[in-house]
Amino acid sequence: MRRRLGRSGIRVSGVGLGCWAIGGPFLFEGKPDGWGEVDDAESVRAIQRAVDLGVTFFDSADVYGTGHSERILGKALEGRRDRVVIATKFGHTYDEARREIVGADTSPAYIRRACEASLRRLGTDAIDLYQLHLWSLPASQAEDVFATLDGLRDAGLIRAYGWSTGDPRCAELLAAASAGTAVQHPLNVFSDAPEIIALGAEYDVASVCNTPLAMGLLTGKFDAGSKLPSDDVRGSGHEWVAYFEDGRPRQEFLDRLAAVREILRSDGRTLAQGALAWVMARSPRTVPIPGFKTAKQAEELAGAMRTGPLSGDQVREIEGLLAAREPA
Confidence at 325, pLDDT banded by 50, 70, 90: confident
Tell me the pLDDT tens digit for each residue of 161-174: 999 999 999 999 99
Confidence at 324, pLDDT banded by 50, 70, 90: confident
Domain boundary assignment for the chain: 2-325
Q: Which of 4, 128, 11 is nearest to 60 (CA)?
A: 128
Torsion angle, CA of 214/216/222/226, rounded to 10 degrees? -100
Q: How far is CA 284 from the centre of its chain?
A: 17
Beta carbons of 227 and 235 less than 8 angstroms apart: yes
Q: Which of 115, 105, 200, 98 is nearest to 152 (CA)?
A: 115
Q: Which of 53, 9, 15 is nearest to 280 (CA)?
A: 15
Distance in Å from the first CA to the final CA of the chain: 40
Give CATH superfamily name and number for 2-325.
NADP-dependent oxidoreductase domain (3.20.20.100)
267 Cβ contact partners less than 8 Å away, ≥ 6 residues apart: 307
36 Cβ contact partners less than 8 Å away, ≥ 6 residues apart: 25, 229, 231, 232
Higher pLDDT, 89 or 326: 89
Pairing mode of beta strands 92-95, 31-32: unpaired
Catalytic residue chosen out of the listed positions 64, 94, 130, 243: 64
Q: Is 130 designated active site? A: no
Distance in angstroms (rounded) separating the CA atoms of residues 227 and 244: 9
Distance in angstroms (rounded) separating the CA atoms of residues 312 and 314: 5
Whole-number average pLDDT of the chain: 97
Q: Which of 202, 268, 209 is nearest to 17 (CA)?
A: 209
Beta carbons of 257 and 191 less than 8 angstroms apart: no
Distance in angstroms (rounded) separating the CA atoms of residues 185 and 201: 15
Tell me the pLDDT tens digit for each residue of 163-203: 999 999 999 999 999 999 999 999 999 999 999 999 999 99
Tell me the pLDDT tens digit for each residue of 97-121: 999 999 999 999 999 999 999 999 9
* pLDDT at residue number 326: 73
Confidence at 17, pLDDT banded by 50, 70, 90: very high
DSSP labels, 182-203: EEEEE-BTTB--HHHHHHHHHH
